[in-house]
């Protein structure tokens, strides 16, 4: 459930805590949390500096610097459903950590900071890459465009991969990271509600006007969610441990059986692309 707005919020709250710090220790408490294996991960990360924190789709990226200011590769963190990345200072104890990176102090009157990756359901991963190697990672290389920087023309093209309009259902395309990067179940449902399009509408049947409306809805919902620091259903927290507030603005996600906020009709739920999808049968059309 950490999707684009949540990862963006984590990146923004993590950056001032960890950027320019040196990784002085690497502790892996759960071997399945790191790629490509515990020893290789430590080798790729230990002694590097965190030069810059960034985001691509739902990936949190730590760009590293090696001695002499040379490119030190990249760590890509995928939180999947319940992953968290927290920056904690000395004295605080991380709960159920899978990986802990101990970072240098900025000055002598300040203690070290730890970057903690935890994840109760253990679906998330930290992938370490040597310089340039992330570009050979299949998942990364096939990521679709960023919804907040693409144009409406790009978006129309997304829905017609290879020039042929897709016969897939629109929600399946929105959730496909190779089509457009960063959207998950929450923001797909919210954007489709705002655009008045049913999640099971066949993409090829949506006209140009309809696609433009959907694109505007996607951007609007992502921008508002970032402004609210993401959505905290249960697990999501930013790098300082704070919850987001966008869950208070949900109009579709998780509202099955409740009245539509626009027309009062009972919201229905449907399984599309293996996900629970909630929509208003009156406001949203095929």
Partner DNA sequence: ACGGATTCCTGATGGC
Partner DNA sequence: TGCCATCAGGAATCCG
Q: Is 146 labeled as catalytic in the residue annotation? A: no
Q: Is 95 labeled as catalytic in the residue annotation? A: no
Q: Which two tokens stand for residue 239?
A: 């790098």
Q: With respect to DNA, which residue has the nearer C-beta, 38 or 139?
A: 139
Q: Is 3 labeled as catalytic in the residue annotation? A: yes
Which is catalytic among the residues 12, 122, 156, 275? Answer: 275
Own/partner pairs, 147-151, CB within 8 angstroms, 24+ separation: 147/4, 147/180, 147/181, 147/182, 147/183, 147/218, 147/219, 147/222, 148/4, 148/219, 148/222, 148/223, 150/180
Q: With respect to DNA, which residue has the nearer C-beta, 136 or 138?
A: 138
Query: With contact defined as beta carbons under 8 Å apart, do 273 and 175 qualify?
Result: yes
**Rounded CA separation 45/22 (Å):** 10
By CB under 7 A, the count of residues binding DNA is: 32
Q: With respect to DNA, which residue has the nearer C-beta, 143 or 195?
A: 143
Tokens 């999947």 locate to: 80
Q: Is 93 labeled as catalytic in the residue annotation? A: no
In sequence order, what are the beta bridge partners of 202?
A: 169
What is the secondary structure of 3-25 as a DSSP string?
A: -HHHHHHHHHHHHHHHTT-BEEE
Give least dist CB 116 to DNA, A.
Answer: 17
Residue 3 binds DNA (CB under 7 A):
yes
Q: With respect to DNA, which residue has the nearer C-beta, 47 or 178?
A: 178
Residue 95 binds DNA (CB under 7 A):
no
Which is catalytic among the residues 21, 55, 58, 98? Answer: 58
Residues 51-90, interacting with DNA (CB under 7 A):
57-58, 78, 80-81
Closest CA to 230 of 5, 3, 4: 5
Phi-psi region of 24 (alpha: psi -120 to 50; beta: other; left: phi over 0): alpha
> What's the gap between Cα 153 and its chain centre?
24
Closest CA to 252 of 238, 236, 263: 263
Which is catalytic among the residues 3, 6, 8, 190? Answer: 3
Q: With respect to DNA, which residue has the nearer C-beta, 168 or 243?
A: 168
Residue 114 binds DNA (CB under 7 A):
no
Residues 121-180, interacting with DNA (CB under 7 A):
121-123, 138-139, 162, 166-169, 172, 175, 177
Query: With contact defined as beta carbons under 8 Å apart, do 100 and 27 qualify?
Result: yes
Binding mask 223-262 for DNA (x = CB under 7 A): -----------x------------------x---------
Q: Which residues bind DNA (CB under 7 A)?
A: 1, 3, 32, 57-58, 78, 80-81, 120-123, 138-139, 162, 166-169, 172, 175, 177, 184-186, 234, 253, 271, 273-276
Give catalytic residues, as residue numbers: 2-3, 58, 275
């Amino acid at each position: 459930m950490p999707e684009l707005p949540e990862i963006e919020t984590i990146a923004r709250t993590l950056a001032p805590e960890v950027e320019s710090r040196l990784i002085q220790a690497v502790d892996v408490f759960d071997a399945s949390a790191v790629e490509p294996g515990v020893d290789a991960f430590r080798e790729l990360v230990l002694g590097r500096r965190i030069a810059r924190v960034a985001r691509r789709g739902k990936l949190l990226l730590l760009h590293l610097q090696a001695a002499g200011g040379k490119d030190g590769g990249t760590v890509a963190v995928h939180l999947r459903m319940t992953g968290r990345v927290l920056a904690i200072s000395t004295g605080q104890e991380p709960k159920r950590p899978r990986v802990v990176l101990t970072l240098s102090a900025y000055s002598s009157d300040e203690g070290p900071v730890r970057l903690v990756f935890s994840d109760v359901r253990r679906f998330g991963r930290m992938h370490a890459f040597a310089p340039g190697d992330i570009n050979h990672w299949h998942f990364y290389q096939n990521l679709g465009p960023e919804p907040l920087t693409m144009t409406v023309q790009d978006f129309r093209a997304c829905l017609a991969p290879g020039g042929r309009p897709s016969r897939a259902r629109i929600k399946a395309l929105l959730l496909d990271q190779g089509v457009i990067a960063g959207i998950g179940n929450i923001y797909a449902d919210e954007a489709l509600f705002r655009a008045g399009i049913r999640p099971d509408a066949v993409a090829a049947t949506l006209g140009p006007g309809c696609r433009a409306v959907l694109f505007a809805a996607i951007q609007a919902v992502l921008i508002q969610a970032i402004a609210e620091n993401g959505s905290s259903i249960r697990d999501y927290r930013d790098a300082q441990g704070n919850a987001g507030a966008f869950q208070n603005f949900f109009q579709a996600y998780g509202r099955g059986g409740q009245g539509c906020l626009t027309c009062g009709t009972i919201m229905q739920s449907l399984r599309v692309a293996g996900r629970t999808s909630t929509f208003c049968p009156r406001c949203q059309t095929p």
